[in-house]
Structure 1
Amino acid sequence: MRSTRTNVTILASILLMAGQAAGAPPAVADGCPATTDQWEVTDLGVTGYALDINDLGQIAGSSVSATGEQRATVWDGAQVIDLGSLGGGHASGNALDEDGNVVGNSYTATEKGHAFHWRAGTMTDLGIFGSIPTRVRDVGAGVIVGEYRHLLPNGTARYQAFRIENGVRTDLAAVSGSNAAAVNPARQIAGTQRLLEPPGPASQRAHRAFLWEDGVITELGTLGGQWSQAEAINGDGHIVGQSALGADGVLAGGYIWSAGEGMRRLPDAGGTAAPKAVNDDDVIVGTHTCTEAGTTAHAAVWTGPGAAPTLLPDPATGTATMANAVNAQGEITGWAEAPDGSRRALVWRPAPGSS
């Protein structure tokens, strides 16, 4: 679940400490962002990924078993729940909501890329829909969203965004290839359409982020380039993602979009912002790549749309990090790349005294 209602007391204190108010004009700083001391990092103790976190603090992701299989996993306090698989021994939990729904992907005994829905100990195979594997990306209030790929009569592949509610799958009326990245409790969906397969050079890309609501698709525009893509939506319908900055499509910036203010570029401190999630107080997480430090992306947080990025602290197990989701308490999930190339599941929590 990518959209949450934040505890105002916690986040208001963080905003004050950061010295930035949400909605202030974007500021660009010289040099790489500083590392914040307002969050503390915990390694979840497994090789794997932490991909989502709900308002209850439950985390969905994957962990690698002793036999080397990737297993769909939920962390619920001290309890670590292996969700199993669809028979193929390889699965990942991609998202979860507050109602006990977990969605992800799994191998079966004979095929890859089946979507699944897990609830109360039962994993249901959602299938592949087309002749090419399906991906489920998010679940909110029981609504599941994602995309599948299928072959056109000329043999090329295209993406098709879909939603599943009460067991009924509906393809979104998007054009020229589409995905559905996230859904909020109001059943609004953020996604991207006009996707090419294969993507092709940046100068040829023309995809657009969109908002789907009650069957109507609204394109969000761009930051001046010819493409944009959506990553997450919060409960107020605010969407974050990336957009091209120029006609060549190479340089990109992070954005937040709202119906009232349109698309606004996130401050990037002279680097590259890549937001992945936003909560209902517009606290945004993702990665920041500092041009002065090379090309390594680092987990970052923006405490509001006008706040400068700050880097989340590294664990002892790795320094190349990614932040994937943020919940109502300001808890953030992600992963770090260890020196041996493996990845470690992480959670960052507000530090004591920051509330």
Structure 2
Amino acid sequence: MSSWRTQMSGSQTLHVASKCVHRKYHFFAAIALSLLSLHAHAEWEVTDQGTLAEGATATAVSADGRTIIGQRIMAGDSNHAFKYVDGVMTDLGTLGGKHSNATAVSADGKVVLGVSERADGSYHAFRHVHGQGMVSLCTLGGNFSAVRASSSDGEVAVGESRLRNGETHAFKYTDQGGMQDLGTLPGGSRSFAYEVSADGVVVIGMADMANGDIHSFMHTDSKGMVDLGKVSEQGALSAPLLLLNSVRKHDS
């Protein structure tokens, strides 16, 4: 058993303990230790942002810092996406089902994106614009799609969607082109996008190969999907890879 100590502002000290287990990883512990190693001895300034409603989980914040988004537990065993601005929490509702979650927000906080259940039990990626409500971005033919990130203006959304044949592919959505299937790397059958540049041009994500290896990729409209190489062992601790592996298990 070993322990780490990271000095925080004032006299507070954070303690984290970890037990090494050969080739077994605990995701949350790994992330905590990674953050500690990156920020050891750093001083932190904490600003009181008020209190979110009970049962609310924040997932992202706008670039200007004024808008917080996330998911809130509601009555009747449901969860709704929310937007929190200047101390006021707004329920963004759903696409007709019981559940929704906000996962991305534009720089100015006016555009919120995420995933919502529909009345038929399927899940669709959504975009919510202030004053216009929640709109489905549809799917690539299957019963699931979800937004993971967006451009700074909220006009470009990326994520993953299920196809009619059951495969899961990364997508890029724009109003002009709709939901675009970004495909897979050679020999693979699954991919997903988890980040996009501020201007919406460059998309990054992960995809599987024919031999089962997981590779990172970069996608642009001009070059298509470019293989960035096999994911390292450190990358195996990442949330995107865990998501891809969960998708693979669900599809199999």
| Residue of structure 2 in register with 1:214 after alignment | 221
What is the CA-CA distance between 1:84 and the residue it aligns to? 0.9
| Residue of structure 1 in register with 2:44 after alignment | 38
What is the CA-CA distance between 1:218 and the residue it aligns to? 2.5
1:242-261 equivalent positions in 2, closer than 5 A: 243-244=232-233, 253-254=234-235
After TM superposition, the runs of 4+ consecutive aligned structure 1 residues lying more than 4 A away are 32-37, 272-276
1:55-66 equivalent positions in 2, closer than 5 A: 55-57=63-65, 58-66=67-75
Q: How many Å separate the matches in 2 of 1:38 and 1:180?
A: 31
| Residue of structure 1 in register with 2:87 after alignment | 78
Report the TM-score, using the length of structure 1 for normalisation: 0.48
Q: How many Å separate the matches in 1 of 2:47 and 2:239?
A: 19
1:329-340 equivalent positions in 2, closer than 5 A: none
Query: In the alignment, is residue 181 of structure 1 matched against residue 194 of structure 2?
Result: yes
What is the CA-CA distance between 1:150 and the residue it aligns to? 2.2
What is the CA-CA distance between 1:192 and the residue it aligns to? 1.1
- 1:149 paired residue among 137, 158, 162: 162
What is the CA-CA distance between 1:220 and the residue it aligns to? 2.0
Query: In the alignment, is residue 166 of structure 1 matched against residue 175 of structure 2?
Result: yes
What is the CA-CA distance between 1:148 and the residue it aligns to? 0.8
Q: How many Å separate the matches in 1 of 2:115 and 2:208?
A: 24
Query: In the alignment, is residue 104 of structure 1 matched against residue 114 of structure 2?
Result: yes
| Residue of structure 2 in register with 1:128 after alignment | 139
Q: How many Å separate the matches in 2 of 1:137 and 1:195?
A: 22
CA RMSD of aligned residues (A): 2.9
Identical residues among aligned pairs (%): 26
**1:130 partner letter:** G
Partner deviation per Cα, 1:214-255 (whole Å, 9 max, x = no partner): 33232222xxxxx42xxxxxxxxxxxxxx32xxxxxxxx15x
* Cα separation, partners in 2 of 1:49 and 1:167, compared to 1, 3 Å: farther
Partner deviation per Cα, 1:140-170 (whole Å, 9 max, x = no partner): 1310111111243xxxx32111111124222
**2:143 partner letter:** I
Partner deviation per Cα, 1:314-349 (whole Å, 9 max, x = no partner): xxxxxxxxxxxxxxxxxxxxxxxxxxxxxxxxxxxx
What is the CA-CA distance between 1:209 and the residue it aligns to? 0.8
Whether the aligned pair in 1 keeps the contact of 2:99 and 2:117 (CA below 8 Å) is yes
Q: How many Å separate the matches in 2 of 1:219 and 1:133?
A: 25
Partner deviation per Cα, 1:178-217 (whole Å, 9 max, x = no partner): 1111112132111112268xxxxxxx63121111123323
Structure 1 portions without partners, runs of 5+: 1-13, 15-28, 197-203, 222-226, 229-242, 245-252, 255-271, 277-355
* Cα separation, partners in 2 of 1:191 and 1:215, compared to 1, 3 Å: farther
- Count matched residues: 192
**1:60 partner letter:** I
Q: How many Å separate the matches in 2 of 1:179 and 1:274?
A: 14
* Cα separation, partners in 2 of 1:150 and 1:275, compared to 1, 3 Å: closer
* Cα separation, partners in 2 of 1:76 and 1:214, compared to 1, 3 Å: same
- 2:62 paired residue among 44, 50, 54: 54
* Cα separation, partners in 2 of 1:192 and 1:274, compared to 1, 3 Å: closer
Q: How many Å separate the matches in 2 of 1:149 and 1:273?
A: 24
Whether the aligned pair in 2 keeps the contact of 1:64 and 1:70 (CA below 8 Å) is yes
Whether the aligned pair in 1 keeps the contact of 2:124 and 2:138 (CA below 8 Å) is yes
* Cα separation, partners in 2 of 1:71 and 1:97, compared to 1, 3 Å: same
**1:220 partner letter:** L
Report the TM-score, using the length of structure 2 for normalisation: 0.66
**2:59 partner letter:** L
Q: How many Å separate the matches in 2 of 1:37 and 1:65?
A: 37
Query: In the alignment, is residue 193 of structure 1 matched against residue 207 of structure 2?
Result: yes
1:294-305 equivalent positions in 2, closer than 5 A: none
Structure 2 portions without partners, runs of 5+: 1-8, 10-32, 241-252
* Cα separation, partners in 2 of 1:164 and 1:274, compared to 1, 3 Å: closer
* Cα separation, partners in 2 of 1:195 and 1:84, compared to 1, 3 Å: farther
Q: How many Å separate the matches in 1 of 2:161 and 2:226?
A: 21
